[in-house]
Amino acid sequence: MRAEIDKRAMAALSSGHLATDFANGALPALLPFFVERFDLSYTLAALLMLASAFSSSVIQPFFGIWSDRRGAIWLLPTGVAVAGLGIALAANAPRYWLVLLFVLVSGVGVAAYHPEGSKFAAYTSGSRRASGMSLFSIGGNIGYALGPAIATPLVLWQGLRGGLLLAVPCLVVAALLVAAGRYLASFSPERTGARSLTGDDQPGALTILLGVIALRSVSWFGLVTFVPLWAVSLGHSKAYGNQLLTFMLLAGAAGTLTAGPLADRIGRRPVLIGSIAATAPLTLVFVAVGGLVGAFALALVGACVIGTFGVTMVMSQEYLPRRIGLASGLSIGMSIGLGGIAAVGLGALADAVDLRTSLYVCAAVPLAAVALAAFLPSSRAPARFAPEPVSR
C-alpha cells in the first residue's frame, strides 16, 4: 500500500465530487423560488428534497454492488454529467411534477458517482485513509456550498431559466474525468491480491454506524431544507437565507480539513461522537438566539456534521473491507436517504404546528445518534483492498 496520497488522482476525484454535489446543493437554494412559483406548502417543498435524497442516496448501494462485482469507472463522468443536466432542467421546468422528475434524474447521477468515486479515493489515499477521504469529501463540501452561492444570483438575474447554466460546470468536469480515466484506472488493486488479506467484514458494526448516520442525517436534512425558508419566515430576503446556507456549508469544508487528519491521529470513533454531540446545542442556539450568534452557531454545525462525512465513509469501508463499493454506497446512500424521508415529516410538522418546532426537533435528534454511536467498535484499516473487477 502506498504511503502518500496521489495528488493528481485525488484532484480529479475531488473535482468530480465537487461537480455532483454542486448540482445537488443547488436544489435547497431553488426551493424558495419553487415555493413562490408553484405556491407550494412546506410539505411539497420538502418532497423535492425527498426525491433528491431518494434518487441520490437510497439507490447508491445498488451502484456500489455493481461496482464491486463488475467494475464501473465509466460511472464517474456519466454521473457528473447526468447530475448537472437534471438540476438544470428542473430549474426551468414549467410544472411542479416536471421539477420532481428532473430532480429524480439529477439524483441518479449523484448516486452513480459516489460509490465509485469514494472507492477510487480509498485506492489513491494509501495509508492515510481518513485524510485522503477528507480531501475527496471537501470537493463535495465546496460543491454543495457553491450550489446555492451560484444558483441564487443566477435565478435573481435571469429568473429560473438562468438555472439552465447550472449544467455547464458539471459537463466540463465530466469531460475532464473522461480524459483522466486511464490514469485513475491504474490505481485499481492488482488481481493477484489475495482476498483473505482484506480483513473480516463486520456487518453488525456497519449496521450501528448506518443508524448513527441516519440519525445525523435527519437533523442535517432538516437544516438544509429549512434554513433558507426559516430566514424568509423571519422577514429576511431569499438571498440572505441562501447566504446562511452557504455559510454553513463552507464552514463544513473547513471542518473536513480538520476532522480527517484528526481521525487518522486519535481514531475515527471519538471524532465522530464528539462532533455529533456538539450539533444539538449549536442548533438550539441558531434557532433560539439567532442573529450573528445564531449564524456562527450554524456555521459550527456545518463544520461538525460535514466534517465527519469522510470519517464515516472510511469507517464503513473498514467495517466492510471486502465490499467497499457497497459500504460506500450504504454510508452515503441508503442511510442518508432516510434523512430525506424525515425532511418530509419535518415539513408536515411545520405545516401542522410551525417551522420553529421542526427546527427544535432537528436539535434533539443528534442526542439519539450520540447514544447509538457509543456502541460502535473501533475500526481498523485492513491490510489490503479486495481486487478491483475489470470494468465492463
Domain boundaries, the chain: 7-187+199-373
Are the C-beta atoms of 115 and 63 separated by less than 8 Å?
Answer: yes
Residue range 252-263: mean pLDDT, rounded: 84
- Is the pTM value of this prediction over 0.75? no
Residue 333 to residue 57: CA distance in whole angstroms: 4
Query: pLDDT per residue over 263-285, tens digit each?
Result: 888 888 999 999 999 999 999 99
Query: Which of 240, 255, 363 is closest to 302 using CA atoms?
Result: 255
Residues listed for the chain:
392
130-134, 144-148, 279-283, 359-363: range with lowest mean pLDDT: 130-134
Residue 3 to residue 318: CA distance in whole angstroms: 17
Residue type, 268: R
Q: What pLDDT, on a 0 to 100 scale, did the predictor assign at position 28?
A: 84
Residue type, 376: L
Residue 232 to residue 104: CA distance in whole angstroms: 26
Are the C-beta atoms of 79 and 113 separated by less than 8 Å?
Answer: yes
Are the C-beta atoms of 110 and 21 separated by less than 8 Å?
Answer: yes
Q: Which CATH architecture has domain 7-187+199-373?
A: Up-down Bundle (1.20)
Whether 298 shows a pLDDT value over 70: the answer reads yes
CB-based burial label for 239 (10 Å; 0-12, 13-18, 19+): middle
Q: What pLDDT, on a 0 to 100 scale, did the predictor assign at position 198?
A: 58
3-state secondary structure of 227: helix
Whether 126 shows a pLDDT value over 50: the answer reads yes
Residue 255 to residue 220: CA distance in whole angstroms: 15
